[in-house]
Structure 1
Amino acid sequence: MLKDIGLPKGNDTQEKYWLYMLSNSKPNGPLYLGETLCLYSRMKEHHAGTRRDFAHYHRMERLIYFEVWNDYEKYLARMRRVRNWPRDMRLLLIESLNPGWIDLWPQLVEDQSNSNIQLELKCQQ
């Protein structure tokens, strides 16, 4: 089960802002820092290869880190801060919550379907 990292619970209708990192291998591989309003749709795009971006060309499909925010201003400040960090600080962040560099996506989907946590993986259109 994933650690409780402050995921919104219940039928919260407030918009959610996702900051996430992808990789294709352990620390020597490239990292991709992404942001989205809908992690479910974005991960589907990454897995299907429909996004022709850095992550696609480096075959980064493993979700190794994510944060979800309800407050846009705090989210934006966090995104800017993490974006400006050097690689070694990003590695420390990942390894503080995911030391095994496991793909969190299957576990996140499974935990969501087995609990009352509403991640709103299928986003509102």
Structure 2
Amino acid sequence: MPLRQYHFYVYFMASRSHDLYIGFTNNIFRRVAEHRTAPAGTHTARYNINRLVYYEHFTYVLNAIAREKELKNWTREKKLSLIQSNNPTWQDVAHDW
């Protein structure tokens, strides 16, 4: 029996004004869709955070959780620098999903 391959993601969602949300999921497609249809009263709905601007893939859950915690402890400037180094125009990388 082949080994099952796992997929975990740490991601940044952003608004046009660069308000950020950092999250962790095992299904990036579903989670982005949930952010885009955020119910009223949630953080992402309040600040219109609906664009996936950066993500990292992991095969081990503990590595993904550790990375999410690491990123959440970074300064805002460091987070913005990481996003801009990989996505300088802040385009929605999930636009075609």
Which of the five TM-score ranges fits, normalised by the shorter chain? Answer: 0.7 to 0.9
Q: Which residue of 2 aligns with 1:19?
A: 10
**1:70 aligned onto 2:59:** yes
Structure 2 counterpart SS, 1:100: coil
Number of matched pairs: 95
Q: Could you list the runs of 5+ residues in structure 1 that have no partner in the other structure?
A: 1-11, 110-125
Superposition TM-score, scaled by structure 1 size: 0.68
Q: Which residue of 2 aligns with 1:48?
A: 37
Higher strand share: 2
Structure 2 counterpart SS, 1:77: helix
Superposition TM-score, scaled by structure 2 size: 0.85
Q: Could you list the runs of 5+ residues in structure 2 that have no partner in the other structure?
A: none
Q: Distance in 1 between matches of 2:65 and 2:40?
A: 23
Structure 1 counterpart SS, 2:16: coil
1:48, distance to aligned residue in structure 2 (A): 1.8
Structure 1 runs, 4 residues or longer, greater than 3 Å off: none
